Amino acid sequence: MAYDDNNIFARILRGEAPCVPVFEDAFTLAFMDVMPQADGHVLVIPKEPAATLFDLSPEGAAASIRSTRRAAIAVRDAFAAPGVFVGQFNGAAAGQTVPHCHFHVIPRFPDAKPRA
């Protein structure tokens, strides 16, 4: 998937669009999903311009999984969640709607109806 510099997550990273940040480091940004599948739905994105998992550098991939784990621990503890979903979609055929690589982190409770 070609990288579109004007996708919404690129605009968030440039400060051109708002977000509710959770944490940030040199390589990644974690923020609240604007249309959450459940309370506490966090997105983790690499700062590098990667459309999908396949486009990430090894360093970006390592930083992304480190931050995704950090976000999963944060939502588990903040929501006392018995489970936490972590997932991501690569390509429109897989269901990806925003063409900047991202990781969904969603607290899960026994009655949840997951999208995937």
User: Which residues bind to ligand 5GP, rule: CB under 6 A?
Assistant: 8, 19, 31-35, 43, 89, 95-98
Cα gap 66→43, rounded to integer Å = 13
How many other C-beta atoms are found inside a 10 Å radius of the C-beta of residue 113? 6
Whether 102 is catalytic is yes
Least distance from ligand 5GP to the Cβ atom of residue 21, Å: 10
Least distance from ligand 5GP to the Cβ atom of residue 3, Å: 14
Radius of gyration over every alpha carbon of the chain, rounded to an integer in angstroms: 14
Cα gap 5→16, rounded to integer Å = 12
Q: Which is nearer to ligand 5GP, 32 or 86 (CB)?
A: 32
Residues marked active site are found at 102
